[in-house]
Amino acid sequence: MTASELKKLLKHRIEEINDEAFLNTVKTILDSKLQSQTLILKEEQRNEIIESQKNIKEGLYHSQSEMDKEFNKWLNAK
């Protein structure tokens, strides 16, 4: 069954349902799917991402393993 055919079938089946709790559950599932596909960023967040990408291109970053070593030094220094 194609996605288009499945959508038509689901629309028809949903039209037949009168259980409000069930329909709310379906709505919640659909809402969560839409939210997971759409990421809305504030201007400040976009700028931070752009700056981070620039830093990565310039090699201005530390790997996770480098940071782990640094944290371990801090934790073991007493």
Please give the pLDDT value at position 35. Answer: 65
Tokens found for residue 22: 């069930």
pTM (2 d.p.): 0.42
> pLDDT for 16-53, tens place per residue?
999 999 999 999 998 888 766 667 889 999 999 999 99
Q: Where are the domains of the chain?
A: 1-39, 41-78
Find out whether 14 and 26 touch, Cβ atoms under 8 Å.
Answer: yes
Mean pLDDT rounded to a whole number for the chain:
91
Apex 30 CA angle, 27 and 41, nearest 5: 120
Residue 15 pLDDT class (50, 70, 90 cuts): very high
Please give the pLDDT value at position 32. Answer: 84
